[in-house]
């Protein structure tokens, strides 16, 4: 579960088992809550126990870092597909 980004107390990470088998997405955790967002297009998949305002903040952070997150996803995927 590599954490690839930390912003405002949120941890953004991938589950390695997901990378080879699912479309690009990111998991986000903070204070025991966890959400899942698709990256292309950016859309919440699982809200966890986050408030709507938190989900909007998370989506903004993802949008601001989307190129980095997609690139990191592809790098992780290449490790599992080719490794």
pLDDT tens profile 6-55: 999 999 999 888 888 899 999 999 999 999 999 999 999 999 999 999 99
For residues 29 and 6, the answer to whether their CB atoms sit within 8 Å is no
pLDDT tens profile 67-82: 999 999 999 888 776 5
Instruction: Give me the residue spans of the domains in the chain.
Output: 3-82
The HSE-up count of residue 34 (CA atoms within 13 Å, CB side) is 6
């Amino acid at each position: 579960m590599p954490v690839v980004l930390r912003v405002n107390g949120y941890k953004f990470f991938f589950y390695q088992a997901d990378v080879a088998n699912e479309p690009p997405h990111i998991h986000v955790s903070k204070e025991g809550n966890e959400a899942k967002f698709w990256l292309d297009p950016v859309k919440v998949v699982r809200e966890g126990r986050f408030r709507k305002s938190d989900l909007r903040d998370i989506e903004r952070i993802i949008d601001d870092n989307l190129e980095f997150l997609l690139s990191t996803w592809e790098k992780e995927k290449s490790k599992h597909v080719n490794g």
